[in-house]
Structure 1
Amino acid sequence: MIEFKNVTKRYGDKLAVDNVSFRINEGEIFVLIGPSGSGKTTTLKMINRLIPLSEGYIYFKEEPISNYEVYEMRRDMGYVLQQIALFPHMTISENIAQVPQMENWSDEDINKRIDELLEMVGLDPETYKDRKPSELSGGQQQRIGVLRALAADPPVILMDEPFSALDPITRENFQNDLLELQNKINKTIVFVTHDIAEAMKLADRLCLFNEGQVEQIGLPEEFIESPASSFVEQFIGKVNQDLNLTAGELVAELSVAETESEYPVVKEQADITEIFRLLSNNEAVLVETESGPKKLSRSQVFGYLADKRGVTS
Structure 2
Amino acid sequence: MPKVTKKTLNCRGRLVDLATPAVMGILNITPDSFFANSRVSVEMTLATAERMLHEGATFLDIGGYSTRPGAADVSPDEEADRVLPVITAILENFPNALISIDTFRASVARQAVDSGASLINDVSGGTLDPAMFGTVAGLGVPYILMHMRGTPQTMQSMATYTNVTTEVIDELAIRLAELRSLGQKDIILDPGFGFAKTPTQNFEMLSHLQNFNLFEEPVLVGLSRKTTIWKTLNISADEALNGTTVLNTVALHKGASILRVHDVREAVEAVKLTGQLTFFFNQYLR
Q: What is the TM-score of this pair, normalised by structure 2?
A: 0.37
Task: Work out which of the two has the higher radius of gyration on C-alpha atoms and give 1 or 2.
Answer: 1
Richer in strand (by share): 1
Compare the two structures and name the one with the higher helix fraction: 2
